[in-house]
Every structure is written in structure tokens, then in C-alpha cells.
Amino acid sequence: MESDKNYRKSSGRKPGGRKAAGPRKPGPGKTTHHRENREPEKIRLNRYIANAGVCSRRDADKLIESGVIKVNGKVVTDLGVKVDIRDKVQYDGVTLRPEKRHYVLLNKPKGYITTTEDPFNRKTVMFLVRNACRERIYPVGRLDRDTTGLLLLTNDGQLAKRLTHPKHKINKIYAVTLDKNLKKPDFETIARGMELDDGFIKIDQIAFMKDAESKKEIGLEIHSGRNRIVRRIFESLGYKVMKLDRVSFAGLTKKDIPRGKWRHLNEKEINFLKML
């Protein structure tokens, strides 16, 4: 966002004591000359493609190099090219339009699958956020059909890829309810880390839920995004997960979001996610 120029303050008088004439203010309906001739902002072609929701900037570079991107009717393979809103950018013959970015936080209820569409006509999370925006948004990662809690949906492909990539170690906190009390040796096994069928898993923290009536209720913090990882941890030790609720994702919480409802992220939250 551009800010107005800061002009140096003066005494307001010419040498000799007379007051200097100040800059004329534009009359009604008029603008200053430099605003009338301002050129549209130019951005790198890969960013333009990413803003259109096609893919991340890195993947956009691959598209450019492969020769499937045209700018104003000409194939462009140079990664350094910049464009603006007046340029016609096409991917495989389809003209791209940069979309407004949306970031929607949903408190997912039980019984909805995390996918954009389902061939078996089951309920998907997209039905719950159908009125969130006109642009098409997508779930960031997945929650099982029977798992409840926080799910982020966005059309920001670059951010979605960052939040799901293992190297960024995005933390998630789950509230787990088991079919029986968690035994101390098993608690310690999980805390140390354990071997599963797809490799070793190390959690960040485990604790019994405060004020819980039994040791069936556990809080688990983890950064792994492996499939059904929380359920598999407990199932491997002979427990059945009765309830699984994601209460935090990447520092975001369910506060003031009833089950089945959603809200847009505010600017502060969006900037925080982009710094992760």
C-alpha cells in the first residue's frame, strides 16, 4: 500500500518576509497530475499466475519454462517477465484473472468429508462454506469424516502448500477421547516417540486434559501431517479413539466459532500465517 509523500515543513514565508504561496489544491472532481498518469503496478509473471489460483509461484515457474504460458498472444519462457492488469495472460489458452484472496476458518462438525466434491454424494465441507465467497476455495489439508475442529480453506495456493509441507512443521493441537483410561507406560511411550508402520513418529507434547474426570481425555500437540496419524498412534497401543477434535491449527483457535460455522481470517492472522 502506497503512502502519500511526506513534505518537509517550512516557515511558509519567502526571503524578505512575504508569505510563500502554498501548493494549489485541486478543485472538485480534479486530481493531481501525478495520480492521473500513474502506471499500473507490474508484478512478476509467476506471482500473477499464483494470484489467479493456478498453483504456487514455484510451480508457476515450471509452467513458464514449459512454454504453456502466453502474454498478449506470445509464448513466454523468461522467468523474469513482469506484467500488469492490462496484459492478457493465458494458460493453455485460458485467460487468467487474478482472484481476490480469501481465508476461511471452519469449525468442522462430524459427518463431513474434507474434499471439494464426492462421487458418492456424501456431505462435504464445501457445503458448509458455500456462502463464504464467490471465488472457489479449497481445504488446507484434511480432517477425517468423524474428526471435528479447525479446518482452513483458501484460494491462496502458495500459502496452502506452505502450511501442508512437512519442512515447515505447522503445529496442530487435538483433544482426544479414548474408550478407556490411558495407562502410564503407554503415555510415556507416546511422549518418547514411537515406531508406526510408515516410520517413526515424534509428538511435541502430550498431557491429560485439565479437570477431566478420567484419563480417557488427552491433549496432543503434533506437527506431522501424516494420514490419520493421531488415531493410528493410539490404535497401535490398543486404544480406540471415540472423539477427535482439532482445537488449534497453525496458532489459530476455535474461539467464537460454533460447530458447523465459519469466519474470515483478519489481516493480522493472515500476515501471521504468511510468516510461518
Catalytic residues: 144
Measured CA to CA, the distance from residue 67 to residue 88 in angstroms comes to: 16
Closest CA to 72 of 48, 55, 50: 48
Cell 495456493 belongs to 157
Cell 495520480 belongs to 35
Closest CA to 220 of 94, 211, 212, 231: 231
Closest CA to 242 of 169, 184, 177, 186: 177
CA atoms within 13 A on the CB side of 194: 17
Cell 472538485 belongs to 28
Beta partners for residue 82, in sequence order: 44
Residues 108, 141: contact at Cβ < 8 Å?
no
Query: DSSP characters for 24-78?
Result: PPP-TT---HHHHTPPPPPEEHHHHHHHTTSS-HHHHHHHHHHT-EEETTEE---
Measured CA to CA, the distance from residue 67 to residue 81 in angstroms comes to: 13
